[in-house]
Amino acid sequence: MKPAITDYPEYYQNYVSLVPKGDIIQIIESQLEETKSLLAGITKEQADFRYAEGKWSVLEVVGHVMDTERIMNYRILRMARGDQTPLSGYDDEMYVEASLFSSRTIADLLAEWTIVRAATVALLKGLPKDAWERTGFANNGEFTVNSIAYIIAGHERHHAGLLKSRYLLEA
């Protein structure tokens, strides 16, 4: 069930709004295949493309989405287990800058993301029903476990939309 706007900080509303109705685990399971289809067969030139100075390349966008999913999984794990320790935010620009995403191939990144996504799905499938409504604090905001699952899905949808509209215009 889609989270209420009070289940997460307002900043994430755009991401949550991008998630269609349905079972969130099934949505998360299926959407990576859509993104992989979008990126399958792109050239090295396309993978390195930046639509403007200072913007990430396609490779860096994929890496960023993967990093964010890992961080969100950690938040889900901590909150689902009842850990109320406030979790810090992270600087996504610093993470991308410190990565080697731009030196890798799109196939390599997509293979890794497949593993990350499998871990996400396994984590979500293994949660007790009551864990989905547990709350915790991250990046100075309160979240439910359920809302973070929706943020994972919406964050990917957001970046898939940017890939279509700003990077892969012919796709």
| 55-89 residue pLDDT tens | 999 999 999 999 999 999 999 999 999 999 999 99
User: Which distant-in-sequence residues (6+ apart) come within 8 Å of 167 by Cβ?
Assistant: 46, 49, 51, 58, 61
Q: What is the set of domains in the chain, with CATH numbers?
A: 21-167 (1.20.120.450)
- pTM to 2 decimals? 0.96
On the question of pLDDT at 171 being above 70, the answer is no
On the question of pLDDT at 146 being above 70, the answer is yes
**By the 8 A CB rule, do 144 and 93 touch?**
no
Query: What is the CB-side half-sphere exposure of residue 88 using CA atoms within 13 A?
Result: 3
The residue behind tokens 């396609």 is: 58
